[in-house]
Structure 1
Amino acid sequence: MIYISQLLETPRLIKILEEYAIGLEVISFSIGYILDDLETSIKHYQKAFLELPLGTPLTFHGPFLDLLPGSCDAKVQALVKERFEAAYEAALSFGVNQMIFHTGYMPNTYPDQYWLQNVIDFWRAFLKDKPDDFTVYIENVLDLDWKLMQRLIDEINHPSLKICLDVGHVHAYSPYPIEEWIEALGERIGYVHLHNNDKSRDAHGGLLEGTIPMEMILKLLKEKAPHAHWSLEVSDEQALRASLDWLVHNKLMSK
């Protein structure tokens, strides 16, 4: 399944969703003030999403700004859990059974092993009361390599916990090439964020607007993580349309 991220105004998104056989990755419930009055926000977006084409598949991106599940401060972790649980409740209200959350890894903040144990404890607790058919994807952002994420998935060993590989983040922030991440993580990858950049910053450009060899990367993903969903996190409408048309032309999706 291929999704597009909710990075454009709703009327522009609707037009694209009507033209292509794709789903929508909802980011509205990743924002703090929207979670502050959850009931009102759910009602608002339930009404707004009535305008989406009937049957549009949805996935949710969880909150992430200032939220660090690997924090050593119990009150910080409590706030993270509160925000994540609110977003989870919102996802259920839309019939969504998968969410993306960031690792929250901040290089050189804690010793890696200390951070890893905190994160393992957090996600074990979070997943404890979640149904087996609800999938959580953990996304790399500032992560320097794949090793901690690999250990996180393997040590928790939960069927509903997988990785969201953000190829643009890898390209911008990691000294290791995307191919190495894909080879190392393999079928742990259940979801992929696709966008391009020139390695100088996280630009969220179109698939061909940067120095990521996208055709080769997608071929490798199909080989090593064949069941992963893809989501285009492209912030410009023209670049997004060009990216979707390129995927159609290369028979990587249908229109």
Structure 2
Amino acid sequence: MTPLKIGAALMVADLPRFRDWLIADQRDLELQDFLLPEVLLGDWPGRVAAARTHLDGFEGRLGIHGPFYDLALDTADPEIAPIVARRYVSGVRAAAALGASQMVIHSPYSTWDWFNFGNNPRIGATPAAAERKIDAVHAILREAVALAEAEGITLVIENIEDIDPRFRRDLASSFGSDAVKLSIDTGHAHYAHGATGAPPVDYFIADAGPLLAHVHLQDADGFADRHWAPGRGTVNWHAVFAAIAALPQRPHLVLELREAADIPVAMDYLSGQGLAR
């Protein structure tokens, strides 16, 4: 297998350290400042301007991590839902101002959902719980998706607690839009595999198929969300990279590590295994 070129998820403050590495091979980059409430509620244009000063000469694929703290995609409360919806719109606006082509958002599917969707079947004309979940997400994301379509940005829905990846795939497909696709976090999938009986990570990738547009690469132990450098946990990286290589497209591939300082260690391991460059 040909080694795959990978990049990293970083804060703007990390860019001076990794700028040359990113630009030398025009690697994928995801800026994560915009997941912070204080950024999107504050001077996010200033954060965009700061990023731009470090990215002169950068021509790689660029994305951001969108907001998610206390912002459930299926929020139904009539007072809270408009606030949640506006925050996602703010994220898309920040992505557009930065010139990013993707924004990561978090899956609404919980462990509880998987065990209880079958406990809430359709009754007459009343939609089943899984269908109500999709309707609620559409209501929250309607304006954000419309803006993303206009700006050429793709919202990628990342697995969090997901046990069955089909639910998230069906959600993304339900929009019928190229502006909504899928993201996979390898550590989240490995946690779900080890702790809740989900399929292994490569199964998540194969299930996403042509809808997979983004991958967070991080290692874990199948117990918690570690964000370790690959090689320090128990993810089967050869299976993961083989599944990615088998896709008809190349998703954004970024290391998302707890410590950005571990990026060189991660690259040494993955390149040493013949998987990444």
Q: TM-score, normalised by structure 1?
A: 0.87
| Counterpart in the other structure of 1:126 | 144
Change (3 A) 1:52 1:124: closer
Unaligned runs of 5+ in 2: 118-128
Once the two structures are overlaid, the 10-residue window that deviates more, 237-246 or 158-167, is 237-246
Give the Cα–Cα distance (whole angstroms) in 1 for the partners of residues 261 and 48 of structure 2: 25
Question: Shift of the alpha carbon at 1:26?
Answer: 0.6
| Partner-residue secondary structure (3-state), 1:136 | strand
Change (3 A) 1:36 1:153: closer
Report matched runs for 1:95-174 at 5 Å: 95-108=99-112, 111=117, 112-113=129-130, 114-129=132-147, 130-131=149-150, 133-174=152-193
| Partner-residue secondary structure (3-state), 2:254 | strand
| Counterpart in the other structure of 1:202 | 225
Question: Shift of the alpha carbon at 1:87?
Answer: 1.5
Say whether the 8 Å CA contact 2:96–2:153 is kept in structure 1.
no
1:80 aligns with 2:84: yes
| Counterpart in the other structure of 2:27 | 22
Once the two structures are overlaid, the 10-residue window that deviates more, 202-211 or 111-120, is 111-120
Change (3 A) 1:235 1:84: same
Q: Give the fraction of aligned pairs with identical amino acids, expressed as a percent.
A: 23
**Corresponding letter in the other structure for 1:212:** V
| Partner-residue secondary structure (3-state), 1:207 | coil
Once the two structures are overlaid, the 10-residue window that deviates more, 155-164 or 14-23, is 14-23
Give the Cα–Cα distance (whole angstroms) in 2 for the partners of residues 159 and 18 of structure 1: 28
Say whether the 8 Å CA contact 1:196–1:210 is kept in structure 2.
yes
Change (3 A) 1:19 1:227: closer
Once the two structures are overlaid, the 10-residue window that deviates more, 151-160 or 11-20, is 11-20
| Counterpart in the other structure of 2:263 | 240
Give the Cα–Cα distance (whole angstroms) in 2 for the partners of residues 120 and 41 of structure 1: 26
Change (3 A) 1:252 1:54: farther
**Corresponding letter in the other structure for 1:150:** R
CA RMSD across the alignment: 2.5
Give the Cα–Cα distance (whole angstroms) in 2 for the partners of residues 25 and 34 of structure 1: 16
| Counterpart in the other structure of 1:178 | 201
Question: Shift of the alpha carbon at 1:133?
Answer: 2.6
| Partner-residue secondary structure (3-state), 1:96 | coil
| Counterpart in the other structure of 2:46 | 43
Unaligned runs of 5+ in 1: none
**Corresponding letter in the other structure for 2:98:** F
Question: Shift of the alpha carbon at 1:218?
Answer: 0.6
Question: Shift of the alpha carbon at 1:19?
Answer: 5.9
1:54 aligns with 2:54: no
Change (3 A) 1:92 1:133: closer
Say whether the 8 Å CA contact 2:229–2:257 is kept in structure 1.
yes
| Partner-residue secondary structure (3-state), 1:205 | coil
Change (3 A) 1:44 1:118: closer
Give the Cα–Cα distance (whole angstroms) in 2 for the partners of residues 59 and 89 of structure 1: 12
Give the Cα–Cα distance (whole angstroms) in 2 for the partners of residues 18 and 55 of structure 1: 5
How many residue pairs get matched?
252
Change (3 A) 1:23 1:220: closer
Say whether the 8 Å CA contact 1:70–1:105 is kept in structure 2.
no
